[in-house]
Structure 1
Amino acid sequence: MKEILSVRWLVVLFPLVTVACATSAAYHPQKDCAAGSAGACVDWGDELVFQGDKPQAETAYGQACEYGIATSCITQGQLLMERGELEAAEPPLRKAYVEEFPEAYEALADLYQARGSPSDLEIAEGLRFEAPAIDKPAVEYVSHFRVDSRGGLGTAVTLNVQPMFFLSRRLDIGFHGAFGFGSGTSELNGFIGYQHFASTWLVPYARVMVGGLVGQGLNYGGDVGVKLCLGPIGHLEFAVGSSRGSPLHASVGLGINAVFLLLAGLR
Structure 2
Amino acid sequence: MRRVWFMAALVSLGSAACATTRGMSPMSACEQGRTSGCGLWGDELLQQGDVAGADRAFGLGCDAGDMQACLAQGRLRMEGGDLTGAEPPLLKAYQEADEEGTLALADLREARGEPRDVESAERLRREAPALDKPDFEFVFAYRVDASNGLGNDITLNIQPMGLFERRLTFGGNLAFARSGASELNGFLGYQHFVSSWLLTYARLMVGGALDAIPGQGPNVGGELGAKLCLGPLGHLNVAVGSSRSSPAYVSMGLGINGILVLLAALH
TM-score normalized by the length of structure 1:
0.84
1:22 CA drift (Å): 9.5
1:54 CA drift (Å): 7.4
Counterparts of 2:45 and 2:233, CA distance in 1: 33
Counterparts of 2:50 and 2:180, CA distance in 1: 65
Q: Which residue of 2 aligns with 1:165?
A: 162
* 8 A contact 2:39–2:68 mirrored in 1: no
Residue 232 of structure 2: SS of its match in structure 1?
Answer: coil
Mind listing any 5+ residue stretches in structure 2 that lack a counterpart? Answer: 1-17
Q: Which residue of 1 aligns with 2:256?
A: 256
Counterparts of 1:48 and 1:98, CA distance in 2: 27
Residue 196 of structure 2: SS of its match in structure 1?
Answer: coil
* 8 A contact 2:38–2:69 mirrored in 1: no
1:58 CA drift (Å): 3.2
Counterparts of 1:34 and 1:149, CA distance in 2: 64
Counterparts of 2:259 and 2:109, CA distance in 1: 34
Percent identity between matched residues is 54
Counterparts of 2:93 and 2:180, CA distance in 1: 51
Say whether residues 1:188 and 2:184 are aligned partners: yes
Q: Which residue of 2 aligns with 1:247?
A: 247
Match of 1:44 among 31, 41, 46: 41
Q: Which residue of 1 aligns with 2:198?
A: 202
TM-score normalized by the length of structure 2:
0.84
The letter for the 2-side match of 1:96 is A
Mean Cα deviation higher: 144-153 or 66-75: 144-153
Counterparts of 1:88 and 1:22, CA distance in 2: 38
Provide Cα deviations, 1:157-176, integer angstroms capped at 9, x if missing partner.
11001111112211111011
Q: Which residue of 1 aligns with 2:122?
A: 125
1:75 CA drift (Å): 2.0
Give the root-mean-square deviation of aligned CA atoms. 2.3
Q: Greater Rg, structure 1 or structure 2?
A: 2
Counterparts of 2:124 and 2:221, CA distance in 1: 34
Say whether residues 1:86 and 2:83 are aligned partners: yes
Say whether residues 1:222 and 2:219 are aligned partners: no
1:36 CA drift (Å): 2.8
Q: Which residue of 1 aligns with 2:13?
A: none
Aligned residues: 245
RCO higher in structure (CA 8 A, sep ≥6)? 1
Mind listing any 5+ residue stretches in structure 1 that lack a counterpart? Answer: 1-20
Residue 193 of structure 2: SS of its match in structure 1?
Answer: coil
The letter for the 1-side match of 2:198 is L
1:258 CA drift (Å): 0.4
